[in-house]
Amino acid sequence: MVFDIFYHRGFDVPNISGITMALWCSIRTFAKHATELGNKQPTEPIFFVKPNNCIQTEGALQISSHPGSVHHEVECVIRLNQDLQVDAIAVGLDLTDRETQSELRKEQLPWAKGKCFRASAVIGNFAPWSGSFESLCEPTLGLQLQLTVNEELRQSDFLSSMSISPAVQYDSLIGWAPVQAGDYLFTGTPSGVAQLFPGDKLKATLQTTDGEVISIIEAVCE
C-alpha cells in the first residue's frame, strides 16, 4: 500500500506557529457538485487561496459566532514535500459562507469573505503518501471521502470520480503559482454540500475501498 496507517488515532497535526504556507483550493472538481450549485463545469482548474491562519485542527466548530451561514465541503487535502510532490494526505473541510459567497459572485466581486473566515479550513490527521498525484485516483485503491452529520450521510464519493483530478490540478498550479514545500492543496468537494447548525455532530473521513480510515475529523458545531 502507498499509505502508512497510524497505530493510534492521535492527530499528526502540523505546528503552524511561525510557518508560512499557502492553502491552494480548487473548485468544481466533481461534476455533480458543480451541477448542484448551478455552475458550469470548468475545462481547466480554478483556484482560490486561504490564509494559513484559517486552519483549525481540533475543537468545536464555532458556527453560531459566524455572522453568516456556514456550509460543509469535505475534501482531500494534499501536503507538498520538498520536491513539491505528495508528502501526505488528509481529510479536510472547506467551510463556506454560501450566502455571502453567492452575493459577492453576483456583483462579480472577490468572495474571500465567504471562504476565508476564521477556522474555515478544518484539517484532520495527515497520513504519509509515497505515491504520485495520479495514484490518488486509482480505482483499485478506492480512496473515498465521506461526511456524516448527526449520523446522516451527507457527502460520499471516490477520488476516482473527480472530473478534474489532483494531478491535473497540480500541473496547472505549478505552471504559474509560487508553490513551495509545505503548501496544502484542497482538491475540491463532491456533491451534497449543506448548511451546518449549532449542535450538529459531524464526522469526516478519508478511507480506503475496504473501509479503513486513514484520516478523520470529528467535531461538534457550537
DSSP state of 134: G
CA distances from 101 to 105, 109, 207 (A): 6, 9, 30
pLDDT above 50: residue 184: yes
Each residue's pLDDT tens digit, 12-60: 545 444 567 899 999 999 988 877 767 788 889 999 999 999 999 999 9
User: What integer best gives the mean pLDDT of the chain?
Assistant: 89
Taking every pair of Cα atoms in the chain, the longest distance, rounded to a whole number of angstroms, is 50
CA pair distance 129, 94, nearest whole angstrom: 21
Domain assignments of the chain as residue spans, ordered by start: 23-220
In this prediction, residue 8 carries a pLDDT of: 35
Domain 23-220: which topology?
Fumarylacetoacetate hydrolase; domain 2 (3.90.850)
| pTM of structure | 0.88
CA 131 and chain centroid, separation: 19
Section 104-108 average pLDDT? 80
In this prediction, residue 18 carries a pLDDT of: 52
Only one residue has cell 476565508, namely 116
Section 137-166 average pLDDT? 96
Backbone φ and ψ of 155, nearest 5°: -135, 140
pLDDT above 50: residue 117: yes
Alpha helix positions (H), the chain? 31-36, 98-106, 112-115, 166-174
In this prediction, residue 69 carries a pLDDT of: 92
Percent of the chain with pLDDT over 70: 91
Angle 23-164-193 from CA coordinates, rounded to 5°: 70
Given a contact cutoff of 8 angstroms between Cβ atoms, the answer to whether 41 and 28 are in contact is: yes
In this prediction, residue 55 carries a pLDDT of: 97
pLDDT above 80: residue 119: yes
Q: Which of 23, 46, 54, 49 is nearest to 185 (CA)?
A: 23
In this prediction, residue 19 carries a pLDDT of: 60
In this prediction, residue 31 carries a pLDDT of: 82
pLDDT band for position 200 (cuts 50, 70, 90): very high
Query: Who contacts 188 (Cβ-Cβ below 8 Å, separation ≥6)?
Result: 26, 27, 28, 29, 30, 33, 75, 162, 164, 169
In this prediction, residue 103 carries a pLDDT of: 84
